[in-house]
Structure 1
């Protein structure tokens, strides 16, 4: 009886197995109609692709793909410089992709702006016009995009460009003309038409003067003003500008003739100020830094090449204990920033995330060690040119002491051994670390360098780097 039952059980198992094999063969042989997938599924898939892939590959597959790839959510914002670079990458990876010179042309530019003019909210073309040779006619296509709220035309230039934009793109909230070196005051005469403008970047537009500032007085919603590399503003004009724009939250200035009066006015009267940066002002004293000691909202402070700031004034800034929300502190080329300042900073700023002390020669390991012990949220440290830094007190277990650290620049630190930096990256490979000659430390894996099992036969002291990469050699 048991033998009969056993044979019957085996027979049933064999029949089930054959049936499964038959079903499997049917499944494999049945063609899949991919176009029968719901549109929502295809839109989800297309969402993982770059705009270059959508425009130059997907749209040429079939009519359905062409339509779905133009879905407005993929084209709310276009970064033309990124599109240009992504296309070059696609052409390098796929030689069969027929694109002349691997560039986004003026024709592509106009067609895209025309196709998405009613849905585009962001157009970023910084540097793009120069790389692709866009002419006046193509740049004028921007004026058809009346719904855009963000526009970056950095390093581009066209006569009457700002006038045309101001009269057409009245919804703009964010405008950047960084590096448009030919722009003059009169080019901004109609900027008051941009009533929604919240952020304006004119950094490195060197021809701008006080007259330009007067055109900004009537902008009712301006919150961020960035003018790094614009050096012809005077104290009187800047103070009047701030008086007319008391709601400013971000203020970035530059200029060797700017004095403490501007900084003190900003610290005392801009009640919503969270970011303040000043560069290359030889007239500033410690009063400028001390003026921020009561600003509980300040999150980012930067004084670049303001060499007259004293250790006492910097200590007073932190000893007041009010700027506990400070997340970024940057001072370059200032001998007044020393270990005492860092000790005071470490007690006051537990939320610090970024610290830049480039060319502040009086800082040593002692001061840096104090900050590392107290500011556990640090993600970025720059200590370029600090020849007094040796690293023994803080570098050995830095990856453990600062678990959030992502960036360390130790360029021109001639007393800091590169070997210690290499060891640090070997322990935490996600770190971006630069050595004395500003070489990026690269830890190559056996797979990346194509060496495979051959490495097992090499000495542990052998050094390797990823092929094609420029960086300091790193041992496995």
Structure 2
């Protein structure tokens, strides 16, 4: 009843904080914080994560944040988040609206200012636009460390103006730090040494694209916090060599994850890690100079290995995979990318030896063919995700065996697999009935028969992408519409699909949120009208190169699909500036419209220029 507070008078602060902590989205947190001053203050205590762009007035900025949100444990600063024209427009509008009320409600005005300056969220929310975008400095890092002394996770992404001085100030104040991401930061060895000296609980460290680091910094860090370090990532650090990995092997016995991308690493460092880090579970390597000797020792010593990813290896053969298959019985995920020396024999050994395998990706390994995949189907019954990319030698018989033996398969990705046809997908449909995601691109032997079988047997399918498959037509989508409740559909470039197929989807998939029908020449306005009637939850839509869709069709679509956020409509000859205006004015949540510049009127540009992106056609 209005005027009566039935909550604040009964529930103590502790119980209110507990309730707020169970909220599962930023929007829910924000809604609660606007109820009253008490809820605003209590809800702030439950915010544990801040995601912000860098701020030019970083000292004042982080002081403001630390006063408002005392329970923060995780801070993510990402200078890739830039200030968009839309953000500027929103910020100016909110400032005009709220700053005039400051004298009447200081706390609410401060909250509005804070919203403009930062983006805070719970663990599961999405990153939003940040209002101001400048370079974070060492002074800002010092204030951050002082304001959040209980910080546990810090990500500094491409913060180009920070140095060892700022990193040292954070390390000295945030001694409970457990995770540090310095991707793209030009910090030096002294900062890393300070982290090793002060942060004895550090568990995760990411040094991707940290060009200023050398062996000296990383070696000193491992001496200081090696016993706690569990995850280490290194990429494009030219001055970090095998000496660092030898130090890791000596001091980081409990290391579980190593991700390494380097042209300067050889067998020496990785052999040391394999011999010294027996708890290693995840190993991701992109090292052109590594040979079979490394994998031989990995198979012998890393018996707890669960995930192995090998990229662009040219100097190891099936001998290395033999060792992995014979020794790493707990392996669950295997990724092989551009490893041209490998053959069916190596994959067969892994399949027969690692029966717990759940994820397999084979990308551009031209020596692997049908026989290798058949062994996976026969020996790995727990497989849940399979990706075959640019595998010309893998044929239909391979997926026939996968369909027979891998009943728990939930995701299948096929790209440029010209030897796989309808019978293969039919086998998957009949044998893998809990399939949820099917992505097929440029597999020209797959047609209606395959997709009809998917619609009949895979009732759990929610994500379907069939791109540039010339033999797939309306009959396939009619079966999908009858049998599956899709949330995502991409049929770009499937020229046989017309109004009948997409209308069947509109009628049978009311939960559809993402749709790409680009380059379909048989679609018209009737399809847009039916989509508007049947799929009110649509958020992302691409209709580029659809010549027969006009402004009238857009009007019917927008009338009911008011939740649209992105809309691409380049080279649609039937759409004019009036249609573009219809989309912009009819969709209050719209964030991006991609269209030719000539179709945007001056009025539309003034009204929503911040959400319009232009296709570059002048080159």
* TM value normalised by structure 1: 0.71
Summarize the Cα distance change of 1:385–1:53 in structure 2 as closer, same or farther, 3 Å threshold.
Answer: closer
Q: Which of the residues 309, 316, 321 maps onto 2:394? A: 309
Residues 384 and 410 of structure 1 are in contact (CA less than 8 Å); yes or no, is this contact kept in structure 2?
yes
Stretch of structure 1 that moved more, 192-201 or 337-346: 192-201
Distance 2:436 2:263 in 1: 32
What residue number does 1:411 align with? 492
After superposition, the C-alpha distances for 1:114-160 in whole angstroms (9 at most, x for unaligned) are 7657641x444555559975432686265444424334444444323
What residue number does 1:188 align with? 245
Residues 52 and 87 of structure 1 are in contact (CA less than 8 Å); yes or no, is this contact kept in structure 2?
no
Residues 230 and 257 of structure 2 are in contact (CA less than 8 Å); yes or no, is this contact kept in structure 1?
yes
Q: Which of the residues 433, 442, 450 maps onto 1:359? A: 442
Residues 182 and 205 of structure 1 are in contact (CA less than 8 Å); yes or no, is this contact kept in structure 2?
no
What residue number does 2:421 align with? 338
Stretch of structure 1 that moved more, 325-334 or 407-416: 407-416
Distance 2:321 2:136 in 1: 41
Summarize the Cα distance change of 1:184–1:280 in structure 2 as closer, same or farther, 3 Å threshold.
Answer: farther
Correspondence list, 1:215-364, <5 A: 215-218=272-275, 219-226=277-284, 227=309, 229-235=311-317, 236-240=319-323, 245-254=328-337, 255-293=339-377, 294-319=379-404, 322-364=405-447
Residues 516 and 542 of structure 2 are in contact (CA less than 8 Å); yes or no, is this contact kept in structure 1?
yes
Gaps of 5+ in 2: 4-35, 96-115, 118-130, 161-181, 285-308, 521-539, 544-553, 565-575, 585-589, 597-619
Summarize the Cα distance change of 1:436–1:42 in structure 2 as closer, same or farther, 3 Å threshold.
Answer: closer
Tell me the secondary structure at the aligned position of residue 459 of structure 2.
coil
2:81 maps to 1:85: yes
Stretch of structure 1 that moved more, 220-229 or 97-106: 97-106
What residue number does 2:517 align with? 435
Deviation at 1:284, TM superposition (A): 0.6
Correspondence list, 1:30-69, <5 A: 40-44=42-46, 46=47, 50-52=50-52, 66-67=66-67, 69=69
Say what the alpha-carbon RMSD is for the aligned residues.
4.6
Distance 1:244 1:112 in 2: 46
Tell me the secondary structure at the aligned position of residue 449 of structure 2.
helix
Summarize the Cα distance change of 1:313–1:397 in structure 2 as closer, same or farther, 3 Å threshold.
Answer: closer
Residues 407 and 433 of structure 1 are in contact (CA less than 8 Å); yes or no, is this contact kept in structure 2?
yes
Deviation at 1:190, TM superposition (A): 3.0
Correspondence list, 1:126-205, <5 A: 127=158, 134-136=186-188, 140=192, 142-143=195-196, 144-157=198-211, 158-160=213-215, 162-170=218-226, 171-177=228-234, 185-192=242-249, 193-202=251-260, 205=262
After superposition, the C-alpha distances for 1:209-251 in whole angstroms (9 at most, x for unaligned) are 5555424423222223333544345123444456554433222
Residues 311 and 337 of structure 1 are in contact (CA less than 8 Å); yes or no, is this contact kept in structure 2?
yes
Q: If you compute each CA radius of gyration, which structure gives the higher value, 1 or 2?
A: 1
What residue number does 1:104 align with? 136
Residues 452 and 479 of structure 2 are in contact (CA less than 8 Å); yes or no, is this contact kept in structure 1?
no
Residues 224 and 250 of structure 1 are in contact (CA less than 8 Å); yes or no, is this contact kept in structure 2?
no
Deviation at 1:379, TM superposition (A): 2.8
Residues 303 and 331 of structure 1 are in contact (CA less than 8 Å); yes or no, is this contact kept in structure 2?
yes
Residues 296 and 324 of structure 1 are in contact (CA less than 8 Å); yes or no, is this contact kept in structure 2?
yes
What count of residue pairs does the alignment treat as equivalent? 421
Summarize the Cα distance change of 1:57–1:100 in structure 2 as closer, same or farther, 3 Å threshold.
Answer: closer
After superposition, the C-alpha distances for 1:168-188 in whole angstroms (9 at most, x for unaligned) are 443233434466687655543
Distance 2:240 2:468 in 1: 36
Distance 1:274 1:306 in 2: 20
* TM value normalised by structure 2: 0.56
What residue number does 2:476 align with? 394
Summarize the Cα distance change of 1:35–1:221 in structure 2 as closer, same or farther, 3 Å threshold.
Answer: same
Deviation at 1:111, TM superposition (A): 4.9
Stretch of structure 1 that moved more, 91-100 or 299-308: 91-100
Residues 330 and 354 of structure 2 are in contact (CA less than 8 Å); yes or no, is this contact kept in structure 1?
yes
Summarize the Cα distance change of 1:273–1:419 in structure 2 as closer, same or farther, 3 Å threshold.
Answer: same
Gaps of 5+ in 1: 1-19, 22-33, 450-458
Deviation at 1:281, TM superposition (A): 0.8
Tell me the secondary structure at the aligned position of residue 291 of structure 1.
helix
Tell me the secondary structure at the aligned position of residue 477 of structure 2.
coil
Deviation at 1:331, TM superposition (A): 2.7
